[in-house]
Structure 1
Amino acid sequence: MRVISRARGVFARWRGRDIELKAPAEIEAMRVAGALVARTLAAVVEQTKPGVSTGELDELAEQTIRDGGGVPSFLGYHGYPASICASVNEQIVHGIPARERILAEGDLISVDCGAIVDGWHGDSAVTIGVGTVSEADRALSAACRAALDAGSAAVLAGGRLTDISHAVQTAAIDAGRRDGVTYGIVAEYGGHGIGTSMHMDPFLPNHGDPGRGPRLRPGMALAVEPMLTAGDPEALELADGWTVVTVDGSRAVHWEHTVAVTEDGPRVLTLP
């Protein structure tokens, strides 16, 4: 991954850590990267169908990003070998695309994608049903998307970081009650700061009490990314060093947006 740092950075300090603050023009620059990620994911969604391989989706994503004037954030990041993460069924995150992994009717695939444009990063993820999927899988994905929406709405100036965490958790629990199930909230992975690098402080948990963590200030940008499971949320990293799966084999979903804190409320930078 190419990481470009600004010559003059503005940072908020929190417990010895720097949290990058962007000027309004820099938020606009991040929006360019975010829009490219959105276009890339839209192209991937359109091509996701039974018989297509996750490797083909990865090639499509890389070409779309490069055609749009960007660089894939993930490719080469700590040695990661692809431009998207393609996590199928029991895979929670960081699934490695492969030509040999052919999607079948009824699969669920979570596609995570990042792009760099002029040194600024965008990061987003969607979960896609392959062909006709079960009602339970549709409900699981809808619950995760509702948690993303709730978390994004909590990215408010003057609030605290864990206000977002609590909103994600509450939405997931409420969705489970409506659906008559208990969705697992993956604890080991979560959101993060983003800007001139893909992963920056602060780490953003997907659960917790509100009112804790750094104060949210205009110019902060966060990747809000809930991950839910249909069963136990315990996770295991496979021997490839990347792919994270549910221990009990239950299905998992992942939705994500890059969201900026502004004076006028949350601004989702990875919308189409």
Structure 2
Amino acid sequence: MIELLSPTRLPQAREAGALVANILSTMQERSTVGTNLLDIDAWTKAMITDAGGVSCYVDYAPSFGSGPFGHYICTSVNDAVLHGLPRDHTLAEGDLLTLDLAVSLGGVVADSAVSFVVGAAQPAESLSMITATERALEAGIAAASAPGAKVGDLSHAIGSVLTEEGYPVNLQFGGHGVGSTMHQDPHIANAGRPGRGYALRPGLLLALEPWVMADTDELVTDDDGWTLRSATGCLTAHSEHTIAVTEDGIEVLTLRG
């Protein structure tokens, strides 16, 4: 299903995006050496509840997961890249942590992810991967801003950056539509052919999410049934924003301060 929001619901989408951005910024600040992933989950729950929001993850039970997810935020460390199930694990110096969060507020969902290095050590390999996903995300947003843009244009822009940086691209998981629910059509692969697919139109909300693994495009699933890791144990990174297509252009709803 492709859902188009009416202009009157754009303020609600902005509020949802601001909440997700605020929670991610707060969790990034609190994620220091010695922080437990379960504490990040508990803090996230409290912020969602206090704001009157609804978690998109707690009851999430898709066919590819061992659901329900049962937690409020995805916490993926080092070789984990997607759907990281919070567990009793403390962060160490130099860990590459990805936080991924989707919340519904006022009946509208916003979805975003950020990768960063924990502690004072900032390994060059980790920073390069993070920067590549951020640049790919910016390229996808720029492509969405072009007149007559189609989904394939976004995929091509994202994939071009990732491949130019030398990273393999996995096409199993990518961006997607959002709205009254978290995962909707259209699917936005992290590589594709320009000029193809659904034409963007006002009212469309899209979550764009480039992610990479350093030396493979193959994923493996943990015994928890959720956490997806690189098959080789290499580092990973993931960046995501929710954007709104409006009559006036593209608006990024989940920008962090």
Question: What is aligned with 1:169?
Answer: 159
Question: What is aligned with 1:60?
Answer: 43
Gaps of 5+ in 1: 1-17, 177-181
- The answer to whether the aligner puts 1:147 opposite 2:131 as a matched pair is no
Task: State whether residues 163 and 169 of structure 2, in contact with CA within 8 Å, keep that contact through their aligned partners in structure 1.
Answer: no
Task: State whether residues 184 and 230 of structure 1, in contact with CA within 8 Å, keep that contact through their aligned partners in structure 2.
Answer: yes
Task: State whether residues 160 and 210 of structure 1, in contact with CA within 8 Å, keep that contact through their aligned partners in structure 2.
Answer: yes
Task: State whether residues 155 and 259 of structure 1, in contact with CA within 8 Å, keep that contact through their aligned partners in structure 2.
Answer: no
Question: What is aligned with 2:69?
Answer: 80
Q: Which amino acid aligns with 1:161?
A: V
What are the residue-to-residue correspondences of 1:256-267 with 2, within 5 Å?
256-267=240-251
1:242 to 212, 220, 226: 226
Gaps of 5+ in 2: 62-67
Q: Distance in 1 between matches of 2:158 and 2:115?
A: 17
- The answer to whether the aligner puts 1:39 opposite 2:33 as a matched pair is no
| C-alpha displacement of 1:125 | 0.3
Per-residue Cα deviation, 1:22-81 (whole angstroms, up to 9, x for no partner): 112212211111100001001101001110011111111111111122112111211011
Structure 2 length as normaliser, TM-score? 0.93
Structure 1 length as normaliser, TM-score? 0.88
Question: What is aligned with 2:108?
Answer: 120
Per-residue Cα deviation, 1:186-230 (whole angstroms, up to 9, x for no partner): 221101100000001111100011111111111111100011111
Question: What is aligned with 1:51?
Answer: 34
What are the residue-to-residue correspondences of 1:1-272 with 2, within 5 Å?
18-78=1-61, 79-98=68-87, 100-131=88-119, 132-156=121-145, 158-174=148-164, 176=165, 182-272=166-256
Q: Percent identity?
A: 40
Q: Which amino acid aligns with 1:256?
A: E
Instruction: Name the Cα RMSD after superposition.
Output: 1.2
Per-residue Cα deviation, 1:73-124 (whole angstroms, up to 9, x for no partner): 11121101110000100001001112x2111001001000111112111110
What secondary structure does 1:77 align onto? coil
| C-alpha displacement of 1:138 | 0.6
What secondary structure does 1:20 align onto? coil
Aligned residues: 248
Q: Distance in 1 between matches of 2:16 and 2:254?
A: 8
| C-alpha displacement of 1:185 | 2.0
Question: What is aligned with 2:64?
Answer: none
Task: State whether residues 147 and 171 of structure 1, in contact with CA within 8 Å, keep that contact through their aligned partners in structure 2.
Answer: yes
Task: State whether residues 140 and 253 of structure 1, in contact with CA within 8 Å, keep that contact through their aligned partners in structure 2.
Answer: yes
